[in-house]
């Protein structure tokens, strides 16, 4: 009878000579220490302060980040930018309507619907995702190489079309409706860089200490954001590409200004029930919903009372930029 452990020991024997030695490992460690996030990292003002690096979270296009000052234990970021800028501009494809849709930890996304449709009647066709630099999404199954997109390597994996839209930047087209040829046409139209700031249909005056804005969503049905406690930011930033959404983080706080189409009540006065969830009607026939998983109802109500929705959420042009709508302490900065 053979022991599995013995067979495993045997299976790893016969190794070729190692390409690296201890000096290589130490050199790699030093390099990582000085450039801790080789691809990208997210730092909040609090995190940065903890690490001993002075950095001002930018607020608007005129803001200039203070040059970081490294301490012996700190990362040395080379540049900083707003977390809340889409990584690609809006783009046009004949026959389709493209709208910026969601900005989160791993990617910016646009929603693609049929041209000529609008509002709640529009028919969703596909999503175009552009990952943050260095983020490689989790993939299962086999990848199959396909013709390059605008000269960039491309492949199919599990019916998703991926291509390297820029150096170290991956983009994807996801659709359960479109043919491969139409998905390629969408991909070909995407232009990286120069994206606008994400916008929200509200301004928020109070948040529990340590909460950070990690998701901004905008669609025909309204606006929503997700915030998580500081520890959740660490969790999400440590798992790029793992589809770790804010909903998985304990203490997740959602604020939404949306068209009430789910049959849930829309009271004219702010109403909070037994659960940590508050609702109230706002302008333009929209509803404000604030929900904090694991939070007390009193705390959620305090947040809800500090939210001021825009007069008419149906007019997206009136929405403020996300980094102007929340307390500075809740904002994230990308450090590359």
Q: Which residues of the chain form contacts with other proteins (CB under 8 A)?
A: 1-5, 7-16, 18-20, 22, 24-26, 28-33, 36, 136, 138-140, 143, 145, 153, 155, 157, 162, 164
**Shorter beta-carbon distance to other proteins: residue 13 or 268:** 13
Q: How far is the CB of 84 from other proteins (least distance, A)?
A: 28
Q: Strand (E) positions, 26-116? A: 41-44, 80-82, 96-103, 107-114
The residues, any chain, with a CB within 8 Å of residue 124's CB and separated by 6 or more, are: 111, 112, 113
How many Å apart are CA 288 and CA 334, to the nearest integer?
Answer: 29
Q: Taking the complex as a whole, how short is the minimal distance between the CB of residue 4 and other proteins, in angstroms?
A: 5
How far apart are CB 52 and other proteins at their closest, in Å?
A: 15
Please name the residues in contact with 200: beta carbons below 8 A apart, sequence gap of 6 or more: 216, 218, 223, 225, 319, 320, 321, 322, 325
How many Cα atoms are found within 13 Å in the side-chain-facing hemisphere of 144?
7
Contacts of 176 (CB under 8 A, 6+ apart): 159
* Euclidean distance between CA atoms 56 and 44, whole angstroms: 9
Q: Compute the least distance from the CB of residue 33 to other proteins, in Å.
A: 5
Decide whether 24 or 121 has the Cβ nearer to other proteins: 24
Taking the least distance from each CB to other proteins, the nearer of 162 and 224 is 162
Is the Cβ of residue 14 or residue 209 nearer to other proteins in the bound state?
14
Residue number, 89 or 152, with CB nearest to other proteins? 152
* Smallest separation (angstroms) from other proteins to the CB of 215: 22
Closer CB to other proteins, residue 19 or residue 78? 19
CA gap 292, 204 in Å, rounded: 15
- Tokens representing 61 are 């296009």
Q: How far is the CB of 23 from other proteins (least distance, A)?
A: 9
Q: Smallest distance, Å, CB 143 to other proteins?
A: 5
* Beta sheet of 41-44, edge-to-edge order: 41-44, 332-335, 80-82
Which of 195, 170, 163, 11 lies closest to 98, judged by CA?
A: 195
Residue of 249, 226, 215, 252 whose CA lies nearest to 101: 215
CB of 35 to other proteins, least distance (A): 10
* Residue matched to tokens 């909460």: 211
Q: Are residues 281 and 287 in contact, defined by beta-carbon separation less than 8 angstroms?
A: yes
Q: Which is nearer to other proteins, 61 or 72 (CB)?
A: 72
Q: Report residue 170 as tokens.
A: 């991956």
Residues 115/97, Cβ–Cβ less than 8 Å: yes
Nearer to other proteins, 22 or 79 (CB): 22
Please, which residue, 11 or 317, has the CB nearer to other proteins? Answer: 11
Q: How far is the CB of 50 from other proteins (least distance, A)?
A: 13
Q: Measured between alpha carbons, how far is 269 from 301 in angstroms, rounded to an integer? A: 12
């Amino acid at each position: 009878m053979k022991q599995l452990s013995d067979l495993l020991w045997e299976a790893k024997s016969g190794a070729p000579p190692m390409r690296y030695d201890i000096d290589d490992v130490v050199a790699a460690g030093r390099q990582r220490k000085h450039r801790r996030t080789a691809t990208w990292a997210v730092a909040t003002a609090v995190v940065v302060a903890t690490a001993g690096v002075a950095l001002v979270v930018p607020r608007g296009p005129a803001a200039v980040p203070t040059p970081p000052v490294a301490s012996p234990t700190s990362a040395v970021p080379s540049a900083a930018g707003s977390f809340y800028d889409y990584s690609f501009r809006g783009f046009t494809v004949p026959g389709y309507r493209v709208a910026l849709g969601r900005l989160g930890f791993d990617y910016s996304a646009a929603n693609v619907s049929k041209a000529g449709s609008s509002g709640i009647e529009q028919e969703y066709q596909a999503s175009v995702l552009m990952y943050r630099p260095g983020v490689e999404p989790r993939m299962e199954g086999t990848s199959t190489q396909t013709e390059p997109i605008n000269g960039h390597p491309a492949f199919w994996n599990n019916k998703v079309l991926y291509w390297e839209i820029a150096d170290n930047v991956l983009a994807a087209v996801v659709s359960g409706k479109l043919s491969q040829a139409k998905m390629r046409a969408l991909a070909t139209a995407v232009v990286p860089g120069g994206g606008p700031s994400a916008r929200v249909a509200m301004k928020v005056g109070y948040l529990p200490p340590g909460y950070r804005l990690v998701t901004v969503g905008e669609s025909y049905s309204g606006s929503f954001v997700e915030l998580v406690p500081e520890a959740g930011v660490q969790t999400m930033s440590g798992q790029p590409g793992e589809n770790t959404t804010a909903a998985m983080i304990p203490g997740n706080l959602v604020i939404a200004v949306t068209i009430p189409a789910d049959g849930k009540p829309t009271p004219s006065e702010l109403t909070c029930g037994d659960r940590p969830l508050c609702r109230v009607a706002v302008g333009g026939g929209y509803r404000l919903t604030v929900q904090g998983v694991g939070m007390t109802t009193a705390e959620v109500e305090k947040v809800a009372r500090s939210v001021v929705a825009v007069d008419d959420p149906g007019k997206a042009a009136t929405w403020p930029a996300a980094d102007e709508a929340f307390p500075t302490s809740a904002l994230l900065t990308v450090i590359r």
